[in-house]
């Protein structure tokens, strides 16, 4: 059916969550179109599962999205690397020499770890968190042979890695973070310090407000030298200081690049060139709260964008009520779940937003004499002038990972404080906080009192 | 400060969750008013915790809402029983002879178990699920002395009781339910049968579509005779066939009583008589979906009504965007959580609503090779003509007890299928389903495909 060079209706470059969901959605909406997905790795790693390949999972192969989704949906999968795009002739050139002509092109090329010019960064024993099956297999082996691991960067991935690796016996883990605290982009201090304390209690050394000067060693890494004069022993260093959109295909085209070096797209994931869409980490979308263009790199956002693009390739079939991209996260550190959506108080203030915050603490079971009762801490951030919700931060047991989605929906729907006060909820003694002290309602009420 | 007969600004009859939350909310909104709560039991039992006093909790005293909330909020608590109301003189008469004159009166008198005229219902060994501290202490002792327990009524309370009691060694538990299945009011068959199967696997005998003819025995109960000719041995019988609003105070007043024998109230919990409010189980509100007047008996609803009444006693301070009462429930049966909000498919059809449903199954962790991965089953019910969400049913791990609140909010905000398709969520490998197969989005998409 397909030759090496051929023509297709829909060509998707990238086989991560964005590419997969876009292909499946395109199939649901276009039963007879030819759909081709091209990816450059033999297997698709579950990206957010990467921190867990070292201990909770036994093999990198346990962190794989199976390819049967392509077969089931009559989607052609090709393993190859796109190297050039000609948008005039609507053709993509590949490493193997293959050329594919498309009718609609979706770029889901993802992102790559940020490299920084620290002296010694090229030494053996310095690793990045790449979404690359073969690379990760080697990294896993190297980690399991190590004694002293230094993680540079205390964002989500750095913190999750530290949490995971601290479960491995006889391994010394350190985090070096330039900012004053870990997880500072998503959480205010009250919440980020919960993560830091949990990690410290479990033996992870955390150096915040600390810049790395040099990665030292002969042939291979031996230590990490920091600004304060510390020299942290290391036989393995992992850099997790962020990621950068993969936009090399834009080179030879007139594709517009955004402020943060991602493909510029509109709310329907259309680039500035007709018939070319971009989704996921490589696309730069508008933030829901601040309206700034940002490349939000979360697989939940990537899949959401994929659904919008996939449904609207040929016709406008899926209306998007909420035009902005809302970042929502959750993670687990030593059994405590931390979750956030929208902006935190610190970021809101930086953006010049006058906010009022509400806070609550409630147990997740009631009466709290019941087994497995744990505290839920919630902070809500509201726009002071209108009472509109802007953000939320949560810490507690596993169920807060869905509670954050209540708040994500609330932001998407533009709820205000009084809407929360009359929010009708479901509660149960064995499962949730008591209706008398339900976290969201309590935090909203505490904000309301500050406004009066 | 208070004499036996006295005058108060705010008088609340009933000290359950509704009474407590109303009093606290009234205090927040009225710093200098006199507030009095009168209840007729020495301690307030957590109502939804009652099924768990037999095994998970060690004492009825572990299922108590502490009274310190009254002291902290400068609320006077009196233990007495209201027996008469004169709305002309604005006076309530109590069993002890006490008389209290009010400015604003809130009736939070709750509900009592339904009694049915089965022959033998008055025998020793027949019990009801009363929210009465002293009664429950006796019931607990009687249960722990029993061998064969028959529960009449397979609604939430009956099923939760059976689940709890089946944890006790050497106890034979049976449920007799008149309807074709347990939990039929909240769940469609796909979900109610999960509960039934779990209970059966744990030794609970379930007789559905079965009417009780007689409770047999000499002095005390010996067996339960059913329509099919069964004679189920029983040394203890618990009736859990529903509850009836406590409205005896309406007798001598012109208070309007609703269709289902609860106090008639408007959306702000005002009865037809000036300055008298009713909240919780005793009040009859309008259903969010069907607009029918129903006494919805859930403490989550009771506390929501309490907040509305408590804030609006003197002034309209809390606007209620959603005028209807939305019933949302969750429960746990043998480690599986079942949750529902709005109407199920069966009830929607009975109401003459043409619906389209969506269904999804996803694991709660991703990749599902991660520890503690469990299946989440979700059914969404939409209004066919508009695509508006009407209801949802869930089965899965503990986190679905908050996922149901996402859907409860969605109903309250009038979301439609396409809103779900573009719903931006938070996911995490250790905590939630994958973003590629997030249950709510998947179920919405499956409904969308049926509509096309």
pLDDT tens digits, residue range B66-82?
999 999 999 999 999 99
Contact indicator for B182, B158 with CB cutoff of 8 Å: yes
Most distant CA atoms of chain B, gap in Å: 70
pLDDT digits (tens, 9 = 90+) for A25-35: 999 999 999 99
- Give me the pLDDT at residue B1, please: 42
CA distance A279 to A361: 38
pLDDT digits (tens, 9 = 90+) for A237-281: 999 999 999 999 998 778 999 999 999 999 999 999 999 999 999
SS3 A405: helix
Which residues of chain A make contact with B322, given a CB cutoff of 8 A? 422, 424
pLDDT digits (tens, 9 = 90+) for A27-57: 999 999 999 999 999 999 999 999 999 999 9
Which residues of chain B make contact with A303, given a CB cutoff of 8 A? 435-436, 438
Which segments of B167-298 does DSSP mark as H helices, in order?
Answer: 189-201
The minimum CA-CA distance between B26 and chain A, rounded to whole Å, is 13
CA B221, B223, B229 angle in degrees (round to 5)?
145
Residue A3 clears pLDDT 70, i.e. is over it: no
- Mean of the per-residue pLDDT values of chain B: 95
- Give me the pLDDT at residue A9, please: 98
Q: Identify the helix (H) or strand (E) that includes residue A378.
A: strand A375-383
C-alpha A340 chain-centroid distance = 12
The answer to whether the Cβ–Cβ distance between A423 and B409 falls below 8 Å is yes
Mean pLDDT of A55-77: 95
Contact indicator for B15, B44 with CB cutoff of 8 Å: yes
Using pLDDT thresholds of 50, 70 and 90, give the confidence band for residue B407: very high
Using pLDDT thresholds of 50, 70 and 90, give the confidence band for residue B91: very high
Which residues of chain B make contact with A426, given a CB cutoff of 8 A? 300, 328-330, 339, 341, 401, 404-405, 408
Mean pLDDT of A17-26: 97
Matching residue, tokens 């209801």:
B391
Mean pLDDT of A91-120: 96
Burial status of residue A158 (CB atoms within 10 A of its CB: 0-12, 13-18, 19 or more): buried
Contact indicator for B19, B281 with CB cutoff of 8 Å: no
CA distance A363 to A352: 34
The answer to whether the Cβ–Cβ distance between A330 and B428 falls below 8 Å is yes
Using pLDDT thresholds of 50, 70 and 90, give the confidence band for residue B8: very high
Give residue A74's region: left, alpha or beta (phi > 0; psi -120 to 50).
left
Q: What is the pTM of this model?
A: 0.95
Look up residue A433 and give its two tokens: 């906080």
pLDDT digits (tens, 9 = 90+) for B143-199: 999 999 999 999 999 999 999 999 999 999 999 999 999 999 999 999 999 999 999
- Give me the pLDDT at residue B283, please: 96
Look up residue B315 and give its two tokens: 């002034």
* Letter string b/e over residues B148-181, b meaning 16 or more CB atoms within 10 A of that residue's CB: bbbbbbbbbbbbbbbbbbbeeeebbbbbbbbeeb
Mean pLDDT of B411-418: 95
The answer to whether the Cβ–Cβ distance between B424 and A322 falls below 8 Å is yes
Of A304, A401, A449, the CB nearest to B431: A401
The answer to whether the Cβ–Cβ distance between B435 and A307 falls below 8 Å is no
Strands B91-94 and B99-107: antiparallel
Residue A451 clears pLDDT 90, i.e. is over it: no
Q: Compute φ and ψ for A330, nearest 5 degrees.
A: -145, 155
The answer to whether the Cβ–Cβ distance between A52 and B405 falls below 8 Å is no
Look up residue A356 and give its two tokens: 């009022």
Of B332, B415, B425, the CB nearest to A408: B425
- Give me the pLDDT at residue A452, please: 76
Report the sign of the C-alpha dihedral through residues A304, A307, A312, A314, in that order. positive
**Own/partner long-range contacts of B264-271 (Cβ < 8 Å, ≥24 apart):** B264/B293, B267/B320, B267/B323, B267/B324, B268/B308, B268/B309, B268/B312, B268/B316, B268/B320, B269/B305, B269/B308, B269/B309, B269/B312, B271/B107
> Best interface-test mutation with A: which of B323, B378, B429 has the largest number of A CBs within 10 A?
B429
CA distance A326 to A304: 10
Of B302, B370, B402, the CB nearest to A403: B402
Report the sign of the C-alpha dihedral through residues A316, A318, A320, A321, in that order. positive
| Percentage with pLDDT > 90 across chain B | 90
Strands B355-363 and B375-383: antiparallel
SS3 B159: helix
Give the length of chain B.
452
Burial status of residue A421 (CB atoms within 10 A of its CB: 0-12, 13-18, 19 or more): buried
Of A301, A331, A422, the CB nearest to B318: A422
Residue A197 clears pLDDT 60, i.e. is over it: yes
Of B48, B288, B321, the CB nearest to A419: B321
CA distance B128 to B122: 11
pLDDT digits (tens, 9 = 90+) for A367-422: 888 888 999 999 999 999 999 999 999 999 999 999 999 999 999 999 999 899 89
Look up residue A422 and give its two tokens: 């009359």
Residue A94 clears pLDDT 50, i.e. is over it: yes
The total of other beta-carbon atoms located within 10 Å of residue A424's CB is 26
Give the length of chain A.
452
Which residues of chain B make contact with A336, given a CB cutoff of 8 A? none
- Mean of the per-residue pLDDT values of chain A: 95
Under DSSP, the state recorded for A282 is: G
Task: Give the nearest chain B residue to A452 (CA atoms).
Answer: B29
CA distance B390 to A187: 35
- Give me the pLDDT at residue A322, please: 84
Using pLDDT thresholds of 50, 70 and 90, give the confidence band for residue A1: very low
Using pLDDT thresholds of 50, 70 and 90, give the confidence band for residue B289: very high
SS3 B381: strand
Residues 6+ apart with CB under 8 A from B426: A300, A328, A329, A330, A339, A341, A401, A404, A405, A408, B432
List, in sequence order, every residue forming a beta bridge with B391; answer none if it has no partner. B342, B381
Which residues of chain A make contact with B445, given a CB cutoff of 8 A? 28
Instruction: Using alpha carbons, list the distances in angstroms from residue B431 to A269, B270, B297.
Output: 28, 43, 32
- Give me the pLDDT at residue A372, please: 87
Residue B363 clears pLDDT 50, i.e. is over it: yes
Residue B374 clears pLDDT 50, i.e. is over it: yes
């Amino acid at each position: 059916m397909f030759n090496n060079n051929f023509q297709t209706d829909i060509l998707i470059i990238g086989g991560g969550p964005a590419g997969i969901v876009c292909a499946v959605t395109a199939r649901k909406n276009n039963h007879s179109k030819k759909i081709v997905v091209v990816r450059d790795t033999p297997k698709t790693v579950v990206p957010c599962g990467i921190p867990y390949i070292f201990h909770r999972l036994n093999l990198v192969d346990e962190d794989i999205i199976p390819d049967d989704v392509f077969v089931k949906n009559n989607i052609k999968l090709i393993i190859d690397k796109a190297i050039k795009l000609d948008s005039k002739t609507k053709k993509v050139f590949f490493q193997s020499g293959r050329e594919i002509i498309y009718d609609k092109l979706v770029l889901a090329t993802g992102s790559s770890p940020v490299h920084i010019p620290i002296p010694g960064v090229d030494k053996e024993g310095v690793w990045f968190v790449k979404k690359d099956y073969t690379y990760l297999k080697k990294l896993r082996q190297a980690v399991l042979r190590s004694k002293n691991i230094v993680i540079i960067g205390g964002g989500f991935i750095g913190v999750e890695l530290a949490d995971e690796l601290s479960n491995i016996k006889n391994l010394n883990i350190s985090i070096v973070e330039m900012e004053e605290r870990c997880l500072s982009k998503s959480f205010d201090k009250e919440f980020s310090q919960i993560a830091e304390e949990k990690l410290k209690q479990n033996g992870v050394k955390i150096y915040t407000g600390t810049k790395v000067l040099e990665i030292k060693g002969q042939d291979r890494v031996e230590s990490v030298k920091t600004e304060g004069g510390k020299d942290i022993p290391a036989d393995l260093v992992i850099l997790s200081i962020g990621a950068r959109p993969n936009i090399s295909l834009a080179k030879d085209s007139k594709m517009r690049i955004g402020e943060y070096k991602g493909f510029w797209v509109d709310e329907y994931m259309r680039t500035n060139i007709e018939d070319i869409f971009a989704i996921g980490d490589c696309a730069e979308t508008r933030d829901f709260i601040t309206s700034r263009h940002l490349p939000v790199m979360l697989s939940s956002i990537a899949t959401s964008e994929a659904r919008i693009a996939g449904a609207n390739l040929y016709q406008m079939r899926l209306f998007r009520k909420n035009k902005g991209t809302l970042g929502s996260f959750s993670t687990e550190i030593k059994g405590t779940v931390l979750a956030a959506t929208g902006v935190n108080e610190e970021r809101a203030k930086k953006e010049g937003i006058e906010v009022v915050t509400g806070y609550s603490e409630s147990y997740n079971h009631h009466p709290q004499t019941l087994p497995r009762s744990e505290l839920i801490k919630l902070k809500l951030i509201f726009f002071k002038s209108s009472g509109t919700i802007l953000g939320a931060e949560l810490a507690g047991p596993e169920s807060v990972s869905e509670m954050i989605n209540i708040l994500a929906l609330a932001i998407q729907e533009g709820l205000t404080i009084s809407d929360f006060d009359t929010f009708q909820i479901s509660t149960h003694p064995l499962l949730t906080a008591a209706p008398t002290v339900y976290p969201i309602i309590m935090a909203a009420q505490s904000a309301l009192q500050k406004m009066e």
